[in-house]
Amino acid sequence: MPTADEPGPDALRRKLVAAIDDWRAELFAPVDPAVRAAMLTIPREVFVPGIPLADAYDEHSAVVTKRDAHGIAISSVSAPSIVAMMLTQLDVRPGHRVLEIGSGGYNAALLRELVGPDGRVTSADVDPDVVERARRCLAAIGCTDVEVVQADGEFGVPDGAPYDRIVVTVEAADTPPAWVAQLVDGGRLVVPLRLCGLTRSVAFDRVGRTLVSRGYELCGFVRMRGAGERRELRVSLDGDDVYLVLDDGQHADAAALRTALRRPRVERPTGVVVGPEEPYVEHLDLWLATTLRGFCLLTASERAVERGLAYPTWAGGGTPAITRGGTFAYRSWRRQAAGGAELSVLAHGPDAAELAEEFAEPHRVWGRDRRTAPPARIVVHPAGTPDAELPAGFVLDRPHTRTVISWPDAG
């Protein structure tokens, strides 16, 4: 319970919605008014018990609710800012039938508000503990008409199909056929989709047998479990402190790259200066991933930065990189006295100077020609679709799909 000097839940909900509005006002699409209203109604603290009330209503705070034997998060209640973003992408309307894949309770409660008395919400999770927890939390707020089922999200929930909307709240590396089959034609799927190692919350509309993107935003989620689980390959350069993350089908000479890390670094400035809140990475990183051979991600811990081993764009997260044999290059940055930061490239290995320049140049091209260009168009086709039937663009092949990522002319 809040003390006399602390704001109560109602005040914190109003503060939360205002904070999300402010965060999105300058750079992103505004939050759907219906989503705002639902967030003002549903008590998030019920779904994240045991944490301070103020933390429950921190707009950027995701709460881990279960970890595996290795301490890796396998279930969480997403940050309110991400929830608001994805539900706005989903464009839920009263009367809709909605399937949520990956349960936590809070998102399902918001969906129930959005669909109204004539709609229906089904929430599925592969983990029985997560299912039981979601049921218990929903019952605690009197939300007893959400169907929470234990099911492998790879196969959807056919008993409730077809759905007008499907939202996936775990990172997926592919879009299985069941999701398309259980979605009405013209319906919308929102999924945190892993594309070349990068995760974007993509809003897709079903158009016949294909999914066509209507926009995407940067996000991060726990990985999908069950039949659809697909882990990336990690190549250690210094234990768990520095490593490369490779996507399906990529290979790297781990021993040579570990040696390269110990060689003197080469730096190349790009001349591209970005502001502290500029959402450039959503499009820039995906453009790099779909136009450069050997694209991957470098992760360096704060300890690695303190030891001087690596200086990525940010510690602990994936920074865009490329590899060539025993050489690798990755993006870094330098603070500017006038504010913001200049993007730069650091490289290690026998061909460091050449690879640093190769990686720096597309950043310059982006800053000069593509900074305000339209975002990518992402179209998902069934696996087996002949090349002749695919649009022009970068093709990402997965077991279930052939995803084409294309970039409109900069104009």
| Cβ–Cβ < 8 Å for 86, 104 | no
Give residues with Cβ within 8 angstroms of 26, minimum separation 6.
277
- CA neighbor of 325 nearest in space, from 399, 406, 394, 260: 260
Per the annotation, the verdict on 78 as an active-site residue is yes
The DSSP code for 209 is T
- In order of 232, 320, 326, 345, 360, the CA distances from 323 in angstroms are 16, 11, 7, 13, 13
Per-residue 3-state assignment (H helix, E strand, C coil) for 143-203? CCCCEEEECCHHHCCHHHCCEEEEEECCEECCCCHHHHHCEEEEEEEEEEEEECCEEEEEE
| Cβ–Cβ < 8 Å for 238, 304 | yes
C-alpha to C-alpha distance for 60 and 371, rounded to whole angstroms: 26
**Is residue 162 reached through a cis peptide bond, with omega within 30 degrees of 0 on the bond before it?**
yes
Instruction: State how far Cα 366 lies from the chain centre.
Output: 22
- Around Cβ 347, how many Cβ atoms within 10 Å? 27
Which of 61, 75, 76, 78 is catalytic? The answer is 78
| Cβ–Cβ < 8 Å for 116, 96 | no
C-alpha to C-alpha distance for 76 and 314, rounded to whole angstroms: 23
Strand pairing of 377-382 and 210-218? antiparallel
Instruction: State how far Cα 2 lies from the chain centre.
Output: 33
Q: Give the active site residues.
A: 78
